[in-house]
């Protein structure tokens, strides 16, 4: 089968980014690479398998138990941390596969204790407290109650980590440091209560790049692994390499006369005679429809503007100046000649964030994933 669409994931760039992050945080700080959502769309197994090469990886961070189970089934034996554990019913499979849950509610904590007692085991876990994200995490006002319960049930549960999450680390330093101070106080409280917590982690990509005081002894990079930073200002601070290229092909070429419309709704009308290329890539492949008449692609090193509404399986572009032929390569993410299109560019034009672009683009079965060093 010939694939028109190819998503190339450069594992050598992934290693480069991880090593850059390691240099920033230093040798005394462990790393929990966040590989949830199919490794931000890049392939959870391949990303995990690559990062397992590094001794400073404390855990692989996933969102759901199903992701952790998949990694075990694929032969990944690194520590795995499930950060959004939903049900106490997952504890059985977690225990059997040596998967560690993040406990973010008092109910989950009591469920974990009950499970451990029933099984006659000591169940390792991390506790998550809310320091200002107001999403998941126990209220820090109840830290004393939680600590007392953990101390009482120390034969049933092993507190291996404390964590929280920043809400605005890429753009609001003042608020980030407020959250960080709350987390620091939480750590000090648990340590004064007699707990020897191995891993203390709150820093995401936006935090560890610019706030060394957020590192503690463990950080959780997500977006940075894949070559992106969460704000334009941060791009000046560290050189990362996007690891994903997405390419397709021109499947048809035709002329469009001045004044003629194109695609559904005829949202674009030609302001001059032009040559149109039809590209095999559409919203079923993760290209947002609101990029209609906004995006560009690269053909033979030339930027070609998208014209008309993005369709389910294809979009059209103006190739008048591209000297293009049918079956020529079309770059949707990546470089051609001296030009480059990034997830940041597509995000800005579609009014979203690079995270959403990466986790959506080239996810259809029509896209062949190719992994290269």
Active-site amino acid positions: 36, 264
Tell me how far apart the alpha carbons of residues 72 and 99 are, in angstroms, rounded to a whole number: 9
Which residue intervals of the chain are DSSP H helices? 11-25, 36-40, 44-51, 65-73, 91-96, 106-119, 143-152, 173-192, 205-208, 343-350, 354-360
Which residue, 116, 72, 70, is CA-closest to 95?
116
Which residue, 312, 309, 304, 293, is CA-closest to 250?
304
Q: Is 193 exposed, middle or buried (0-12, 13-18, 19+ CB in 10 A)?
A: middle
**CB 284, CB 314: distance < 8 Å:** no
For residue 150, what are the contacts with CB-CB under 8 A and spacing of at least 6? 109, 127, 157, 159, 195
**CB 164, CB 179: distance < 8 Å:** yes
**CB 312, CB 281: distance < 8 Å:** no
Backbone angles phi, psi at 35, to 5 degrees: -125, 20
**For residue 73, how many other CB atoms are within 10 A of its CB?**
10
Tell me how far apart the alpha carbons of residues 165 and 202 are, in angstroms, rounded to a whole number: 5
Q: What is the 3-state secondary structure (H, E, C) of 165-178?
A: CCCCCCCCHHHHHH
């Amino acid at each position: 089968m010939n694939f028109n669409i190819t998503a190339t994931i450069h594992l050598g760039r992934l290693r480069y980014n991880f090593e850059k992050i390691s240099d920033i945080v230093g040798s005394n700080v462990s790393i929990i690479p966040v590989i949830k959502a199919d490794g931000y769309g890049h392939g959870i197994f391949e990303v995990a398998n690559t990062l397992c090469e590094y001794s400073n990886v404390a855990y692989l961070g996933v969102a759901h138990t199903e992701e952790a189970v998949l990694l075990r089934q694929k032969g990944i034996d690194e520590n795995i941390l499930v950060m959004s554990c939903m049900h106490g019913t997952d504890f059985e499979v977690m225990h059997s596969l040596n998967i560690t849950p993040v406990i973010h509610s008092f109910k989950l904590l009591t469920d974990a204790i009950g499970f451990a007692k029933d099984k006659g085991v000591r169940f390792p876990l991390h506790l998550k407290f809310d320091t200002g994200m107001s999403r998941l995490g126990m209220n820090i006002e109840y830290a004393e109650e939680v600590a007392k319960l953990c101390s009482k049930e120390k034969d049933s549960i092993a507190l291996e980590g404390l964590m929280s999450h920043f809400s605005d680390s890429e753009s609001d330093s003042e608020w980030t440091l407020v959250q960080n101070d709350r987390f620091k106080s939480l750590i000090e409280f648990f340590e004064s209560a007699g707990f020897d917590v191995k891993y203390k982690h709150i820093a995401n990509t936006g935090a560890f790049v610019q706030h060394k005081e957020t590192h503690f002894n463990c950080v959780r990079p997500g977006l940075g692994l894949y070559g992106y930073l969460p704000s334009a200002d941060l791009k000046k601070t560290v050189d990362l390499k996007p690891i994903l290229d997405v390419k397709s092909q021109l499947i048809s070429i035709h002329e469009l006369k001045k004044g003629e419309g194109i695609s559904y709704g005829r949202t674009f009308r030609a302001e001059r005679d032009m040559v149109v290329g039809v590209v095999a890539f559409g919203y079923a492949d993760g290209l947002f429809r609101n990029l209609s008449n906004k995006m560009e692609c690269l053909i033979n090193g030339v930027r070609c503007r998208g014209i008309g509404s993005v369709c389910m399986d294809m979009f059209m572009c103006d190739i008048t100046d591209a000297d293009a032929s049918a079956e020529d390569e079309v770059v949707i993410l990546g470089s051609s000649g001296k030009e480059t299109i990034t997830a940041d560019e597509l995000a800005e034009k579609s009014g979203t964030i690079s995270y959403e672009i990466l986790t959506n683009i080239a996810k259809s079965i029509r896209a062949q994933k190719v992994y290269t060093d």
